[in-house]
């Protein structure tokens, strides 16, 4: 999976927004296959215009590593899922809670190049990720 640092570097290298959109779509295409049995209401992220599914796997310990898998039925949104997974998945729950996804979106310029519906959907995904990380901390306390 692509790291968030690689995504930042690649975005800095790409000048045109058309190229950046293509790159985001390519990130989504590179996501590992998402299991059909996880495409259920339990894992659906509400607030997204497109269908978005997100599963959470919580590790052990007082500050567990949390891993996410996700998918969408829309190409550009699948790419946004890939960016959020690169930012959050595989990190400790406390780190996830302290991570400012909005700052990353501003840094990449996505905040001003996404439709309001997509931006709201992305915020819903971040909210769900942070909620799951917070629950992981409480579960181990």
- For 127-139, the pLDDT digits (tens) are 999 999 999 998 8
Which pLDDT score is estimated for 141?
61
4, 25, 27, 48: the catalytic one is 48
127 is catalytic: no
Which pLDDT score is estimated for 1?
72
Instruction: Give me the domain span that covers residue 83.
Output: 4-140
- The stretch 62-88 carries a mean pLDDT of 96
What percentage of the chain has pLDDT greater than the value 90? 79
Which contiguous run of DSSP H or E holds residue 119? helix 116-140
Query: Other C-beta atoms within 10 Å of 40: how many?
Result: 9
CATH number at 91 reads 3.90.1010.10
Which contiguous run of DSSP H or E holds residue 24? helix 17-29
Domain count, the chain: 1
Alpha-carbon distance of 30 to 57, in angstroms, equals 20
Residue in this structure with the two tokens 């979106």, named with its chain if needed: 105
| pLDDT value at 140 more than 80 | no
Kindly report the pTM of this predicted structure. Answer: 0.94
């Amino acid at each position: 999976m692509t790291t968030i640092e690689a995504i930042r570097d690649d975005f800095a290298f790409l000048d045109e927004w058309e190229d950046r959109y293509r790159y985001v779509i390519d990130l989504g295409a590179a996501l590992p296959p998402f299991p059909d049995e996880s495409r259920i209401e339990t894992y659906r992220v509400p607030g997204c215009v497109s269908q978005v599914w997100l599963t959470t796997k919580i590790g052990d310990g007082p500050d567990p590593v949390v891993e996410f898998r996700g998918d969408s039925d829309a190409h550009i949104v699948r790419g946004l899922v890939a960016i959020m997974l690169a930012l959050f998945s595989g990190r400790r729950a406390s780190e996830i809670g302290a991570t400012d996804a909005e700052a990353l979106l501003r840094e990449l310029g996505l905040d001003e190049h996404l439709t309001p519906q997509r931006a709201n959907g992305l915020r819903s995904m971040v909210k769900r990720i942070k909620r799951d990380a917070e629950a992981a901390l409480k579960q181990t306390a």
